[in-house]
Amino acid sequence: MASATPAAIPVIDISPLLQHTASPDSISDVDNRLGQACTDVGFLYIVGHGIPDGLQADLHRASAKFFALDVERKRKVAMALGGKAWRGWFPVGDELTSGRPDQKEGFYLGSEDGDSPLPLHGRNLWPDEVPELRVAVDKYMSHCCNLGQVLMQSLVRYLRVDASVFMGQFDNPTTLFRIFNYPPHADVDGDGLPLFGVGEHTDYGYLTLLLQDNSGGLQEKLADGSWIDAPPIPGSLVVNLGDALEHNTGCLIKATPHRVRHTSKSNRMSFPFFFDPSFPRRMESIVSQLPEELQRRAQRNRTGRRDRWDGSQPELFEGQYGVYLMKKVSKVFPELAADYIRDQHKL
């Protein structure tokens, strides 16, 4: 396995996108760098993103305090109590990747949607013992929502597609937030198979913003099938693109496989934020809107693509984003999905 370098995974300062006084040339330069990273690599770091260091530290501290609670207290906010919103805590081994249990526990959160009838929408569950967690999460998600809009607008400029159509997908975006804790674990299971914090996968939506601690363990899969580390860079967020965006751009933008190989003797924490289209929005290809040179690049990506980790072809899906999303999530938490499907049949 090679060592990651800035050349392998681009590091991009996006601060001009957040400055009202930035010159058109500086904005265009960032747009081009972001667009090329999304189409060539599908995995990058951003710095200059504007999320205060103090807020990140508050989020880390509150999350560590939550995970340090005993199991009985964490069960008071278990996912089984979150209903169709699928919010709350789950223990190590309850989340599956490619059918195998991940070596992590987690806390699922999202935008506060009140009594929305949609699945994956609703109210968060909050631990009484850590009131500061809600404060930190709400502030952090607000920053990430703004960043999601800014980055998608940059991508629209690079792709040269109709902004009113493309950005209309995000009038009411699906925003989900996860806090993961990876305790130390064995390298292999009882059958001698390797154990991963999270196994090989691609994200299922459009845009993921990942804050990671200093432990390391995140790895990206290169086009030749080899793996490289994506180590923590101070002040950065990792950005990776998901299957839905690969789908809608006809494989022009890459959903890059990644995993977590946690070998440290201490706990690791990470904070992925998912910025995706509105739940009822139809997933439609924008390939016909792309300039000819980008259409040709999309065709080359489809032709040269290696077999995906899950054997699927995301560009073939048609229908509402919410339907697509539910199918994806049901593979991660099959028990909760089964409960939801049973409830739907009762209606």
| Count of the separate structural domains present in the chain | 1
Q: Is residue 82 assigned to a domain?
A: yes
What CATH number did the domain enclosing 263 receive? 2.60.120.330
Q: Is residue 302 assigned to a domain?
A: yes
pTM of the model as a whole:
0.91
Q: Which helix H or strand E contains 132, and what residues bound it?
A: helix 131-159
Banded pLDDT at 338 (limits 50, 70, 90): low
Q: Is residue 1 assigned to a domain?
A: no
Q: Is the pLDDT of residue 194 over 70?
A: no
pLDDT at 208: 97
Q: Which of 339, 341, 344, 336 is nearest to 79 (CA)?
A: 336
In the predicted model, what is the mean pLDDT of the chain?
A: 87
Q: Is residue 133 assigned to a domain?
A: yes
The pLDDT tens digits for 115-142 are 788 888 999 999 999 999 999 999 999 9
Q: Is residue 151 assigned to a domain?
A: yes
Q: Is the pLDDT of residue 183 over 90?
A: no
Tell me if 197 sits within 8 A of 260, measured CB to CB.
yes
Beta-carbon contacts of residue 29 (< 8 Å; ≥ 6 apart): 16
Q: What DSSP string runs through 206-244?
A: SEEEEEE-TT--EEEE-TTS-EEE----TT-EEEEE-HH
- Domain of 74 in residue numbering reads as 11-346
Question: For 281-291, what is the mean pLDDT?
Answer: 89
3-state secondary structure of 49: coil
276 vs 186, more confident: 276
Measured CA to CA, the distance from residue 96 to residue 106 in angstroms comes to: 12
Banded pLDDT at 345 (limits 50, 70, 90): very low
End-to-end CA distance of the chain: 52
Q: Is the pLDDT of residue 186 over 90?
A: no
Measured CA to CA, the distance from residue 180 to residue 196 in angstroms comes to: 13
311 vs 346, more confident: 311
Q: Is residue 112 assigned to a domain?
A: yes
Q: Which of 169, 294, 305, 306 is nearest to 244 (CA)?
A: 169
Q: Is residue 4 assigned to a domain?
A: no
Q: Is residue 152 assigned to a domain?
A: yes
The pLDDT tens digits for 135-174 are 999 999 999 999 999 999 999 999 999 998 888 888 889 9
